[in-house]
Structure 1
Amino acid sequence: MRHAAFATIAAVLAAPAGADTADGAALLAQDWEAVVDQARGGEVNFYLWGGAETSNGYVDWIGERLAADYDITLNRVPLTDTTEAVNIVLAEQQAGQDESGAVDLVWINGENFRTLRQGDLLWCGYTEALPNGAYVDWEAPAIANDFGVPIEGCEVPWSRVQFAFAHDSARTPQPPRSIPALIDWVEANPGRFTYPAPPDFTGEAFVRHVFYHAAGGPEALMGPFDQEVFDEVAPKAWEILNAMEPDLWREGATYPTSITQLQGMVANSEVDLYFTYDPAEVGAAAANGTFPETMRSYGLTGGTLANTNYVAVPYNSPHKAAALVTLNMLLSPEAQLEKAQPQVWGAAPAIEVERLEPAMQEAFAETPRPAQVVAPEDQGPQLPELQPAWIEAIAEGWIDNVGTR
């Protein structure tokens, strides 16, 4: 995947520029029809994590629609980690490439958004120009804040997710449904559980669930990073995780390095429990034969982390008109409905379905849900994400106090 990503990036860097513009202010001075006209016949380079067939296939479908409707070529650039795209933009800024960047769109949230936002490396202020932006509740806290950082017109929501665990109901009929129950289950079932080591994105999220438990809930951890609170909670979390270690897979001597590796371990019956930020992935994995049909995702009684993922435009994108047309298509009811189909992706919409025409609302209501995917109402409370400084401190603390012990 890494070689494929870099090969594709090289091809994009060598591609000739279209008749688009890097001048965002001039673009926003026009009406929408003029923006569309300027985008026609152009291209857009979309950088995104490439580890899932579902999201890759869906973006290719978007590309087909863009080509048919606007003669826009979408170049999907797969990444092993979103930080690759962030580093490209950072390097371009340092080299003075302020109007000829390689990245037009990037799938992003959390720490990567904060990094680009703090560096003034994102184009902002265009969301009101998107006609389909009317379907978004921009004031909703889950939309307006990306891991505690206000988005302020600098990115567009794409999907909403909530963390879920998963088990093979034929092999593990009674999985643990809370963090305390999981701690007990690991001790009673040695070798049957593990988690990806931070800095893996999903592994970090699992560690944060334990951190929330050690803190007695997320309330004390909200807002800017507080060293005093961290120093009080962290030793409790490391104690829990270190106590679990001898009962983990391979007695905790090694950890998976990615969520993809953990998926393969569950599929091969090396361990019994899986988790993911998107329970639709469990249905997709069952549909393609990776997981058995008896796999089931589930929430925790105390709740799990929930967040929104977004698409952003770097400040130096040379194809800003095509980027806007693509963003508007991503927010369209038709594209959001396609994304919600379980055989496509099964991702929850980022738009407010109740704002749609009755026929489209009915289409969303009739979207089937695979047996492997937990119903939203059964997933438990949605826990808020921490601000990036907290996330970094917890990940670094795990590496220093758990991973290297």
Structure 2
Amino acid sequence: MIRNLFITSAYWGRLAALITILAILFPLMTKAEDNPTFKNWEEVVDAARGGTVNWFMWGGADNINEYVSGFIGSELKDRYNITLKRVGINDTAEAVNIVIGEKQAGIDDTGAVDMIWINGGNFRTMKQGDLLFCGYHDLLPNNKLVNWQDPSIANDFGLPVEECEVPWNRAQFAFAYDSARTENPPKSIPELIDWVKENPGEFTYPAATDFNGSVFIRHVFYHAAGGPDALLGDFDQEKFDEIAPKAWAILNEMEPYLWREGETYPNAIASLAQLFANREVALYFDYDPAIFGINVENGIFPETTRSYGLQDGTIGNTNYVAIPFNSPNKAAAMVTANYLLSFDAQYEKAKSSVWGAAPAIDVSKLDDEAGARFAALPRHPAVIAPEALARKSLPELHPDWISAIEKGWQENVGK
């Protein structure tokens, strides 16, 4: 009896030791599956079914929110039993900071963020910090609809995408005016500079702290540089020091002729929209031209609103969705990203009554029937055709250039 008790105690001791070892190894085994390897798309879909995707995205536009929560959310639920939870934020950096904090805390497999609407500096921060799940493009069936030979898609603000994000939209800066009020709006940056002086009080732009205000300032910077080619690539302090004073001189020379004599600048693009709606200024602009038609339909802008690009080009970019390294629902996020690239999702998004956003896919890669449906989409008369804008698209700059320009404007113009 004593011998049996001894054996039993030893057995339980060894079992306890084994349980302890497994407790140590199990989290490691779980983490090894966090960057899963799938043999084919069917395995991805099987792993995704019944999952949840917490999509963190800018939530400032009701029509976009409805498209995502209503259309995309319903389709994912019906097709894959995936629950899409849209998490509205004011700034993409909020989601990025969550992931950064989780990595610092050692949260490598149970992150709160499954997908982010992202581009530019935020993408650079995440890629350089190894905060992204990458290398899955070949698994996505709809990846074949993306023109990865286009540098403006393959590179996000100058940084190679390298299978770390999936394109969702394309956007390009455009100007708007009331055709019943302004017959001949300025069609280039040099014309605009002269027009502002000839029409005092009729123009202003948001401060550099606003995204659209910053983009407008970059157009003037491009003009001062003789075009964007001199600015592409990594930030060059010597080039900046040569070009910046010319840009600040142009903007400071314009300042007395701006709305309220340039004593103050709108703090957000929404404020500029209100000034245009109230006829306090004659020109408006936005990185998303679809907003012109939306504001007309909502009774904010006059029905005679029309939009245009510049003869010397306007800045455009692609925006994407990305999956953080520690998303616990990577398969479901991949299925979501793939569906966003589908004809159905891109076509619905392109409807002027829904969003009017330019497609991220190459429409020429669709079959004839699908391509014809895109071509037949009615376009709001206030919105310039995306293909017309695209003919004179200017590239975005490296985020370090953008930061330097924004800081320089605040120090040399804004104050």
Scaled by the length of structure 1, what TM-score is found? 0.92
1:402 is paired with a residue whose SS is helix
| Partner SS for 1:173 | coil
**Residue 150 of structure 2, aligned match among 106, 130, 140:** 140
Structure 2 unmatched runs, 5+: 1-29
Q: Of the candidates 103, 107, 116, which is equivalent to residue 113 of structure 2?
A: 103
| Per-residue deviation, residues 148-196 of structure 1 (Å, max 9, x unmatched) | 1000000001111211010111122221111111111111222221111
2:220 to 210, 219, 223: 210
CA contact (8 A) 2:38 2:44 kept: no
Tell me what 2:36 maps to: 27
How many residue pairs get aligned? The number is 384
2:360 equivalent among 338, 350, 369: 350
Match of 1:390 among 401, 404, 413: 401
1:15-164 map, 5 Å = 27-60=36-69, 61-164=71-174
Contact 1:27 1:35 in 2 (8 A): no
What RMSD in Å do the two structures reach over aligned CA positions? 1.5
SS in 2 for 1:165: strand
1:233-284 deviation line (CA, Å, top 9, x unaligned): 0000001111111121222222111112211221122212111112111111
The SS at the match of 2:171 is: strand
Asked if structure 2 preserves the Cα contact closer than 8 Å seen for 1:22 and 1:318, the reply is: no
**2:17 is matched with which residue?**
none
TM superposition shift of 1:23 = 5.8
SS at match of 2:91: coil
User: Is contact 1:156–1:311 with CA below 8 Å preserved after alignment?
Assistant: yes
| 1:88 shift after superposition | 1.3
Q: 2:358, 2:386 within 8 Å by CA — same for their partners in 1?
A: no
Quick one: percent identity of the two aligned structures?
Answer: 62
> 1:224–1:389: 8 Å Cα contact kept in structure 2?
yes
Q: Please report how far the alpha carbon of residue 225 of structure 1 lies from its aligned counterpart in structure 2 after TM superposition.
A: 1.0
Alignment of 1:145-294 (within 5 A): 145-294=155-304
Q: AA paired with 1:252?
A: G
Q: Distance in 1 between matches of 2:239 and 2:82?
A: 50
Offset at 1:26?
5.5
Distance 1:133 1:73, change over 3 A: same
2:306–2:383 contact (8 Å) kept in structure 1: yes
CA 1:130–1:24 in structure 2 vs 1: closer, same or farther (change >3 Å)? farther
SS in 2 for 1:27: coil
The structural deviation recorded for 1:138 is 1.8
Give, in whole Å, the separation in 2 of the partners of 1:168 and 1:22.
57
CA distance in 2, matches of 1:319, 1:242: 51
